[in-house]
């Protein structure tokens, strides 16, 4: 049996993780859903997900171009008419294609770009666990 500082830390680590998870959950519950967003906030939120066709890699919410201003006005009008943010985005995708989205859906070969880091993290974690467990094997007792 191991003794010392390392053994005590290994025994307490799961409890610390559980305590941290509980604290995060309480903070999330206390924050709550918040107040309903105003039309301006919702317009900015939808505009922040759309790429300005004129300004390279700027969102519609941030772009200074006239086209971005027209797009913001259209977003505002559609939200005021009762359309959901997803419906508004779908309308822009129908006109400009998926390239208008700042965060396009991941499918096809592009999905592999997002899958490789996840596989690497899982593989690294499994390798690390195996390495840690190998160090925990009990010492062999010499025969009498």
pTM, 2 dp:
0.53
pLDDT in tens, 86-143: 999 999 999 988 888 888 766 666 667 777 888 888 988 888 888 887 776 566 666 7
Name which CATH class applies to 39-100.
mainly alpha
CA-wise closest residue to 46 among 81, 105, 82, 87: 87
CA angle 67, 46, 92 (to 5 degrees): 55
Do residues 79 and 42 touch, judged by C-beta distance below 8 A?
Answer: yes
Residue 70 pLDDT exceeds 80: yes
- Please enumerate in sequence order all residues whose Cβ is within 8 A of that of 99, keeping only pairs 6 or more positions apart, or say none: 51
More confident call, 45 vs 139: 45
- Please enumerate in sequence order all residues whose Cβ is within 8 A of that of 138, keeping only pairs 6 or more positions apart, or say none: 1
Confidence of residue 55 (pLDDT cuts 50, 70, 90): confident
**Gyration radius of the chain's alpha carbons:** 26
Residue spans per domain, the chain: 39-100, 107-133
């Amino acid at each position: 049996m191991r003794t010392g500082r390392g053994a005590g830390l290994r025994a307490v680590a799961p409890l610390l993780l559980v305590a941290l998870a509980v604290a995060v959950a309480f903070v999330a519950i206390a924050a709550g859903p918040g107040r309903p967003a105003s039309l301006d906030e919702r317009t900015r939120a939808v505009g922040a997900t759309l790429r300005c066709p004129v300004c390279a890699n700027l969102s519609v919410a941030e772009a200074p171009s006239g086209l971005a201003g027209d797009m913001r006005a259209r977003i505002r009008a559609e939200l005021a008419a009762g359309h959901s943010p997803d419906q508004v985005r779908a309308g822009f995708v129908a006109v400009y294609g998926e390239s208008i989205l700042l965060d396009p859906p991941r499918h096809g070969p592009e999905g592999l770009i997002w899958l490789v880091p996840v596989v690497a993290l899982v593989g690294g974690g499994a390798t690390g666990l195996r390495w840690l467990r190998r160090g925990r094997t009990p010492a062999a007792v010499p025969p009498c």
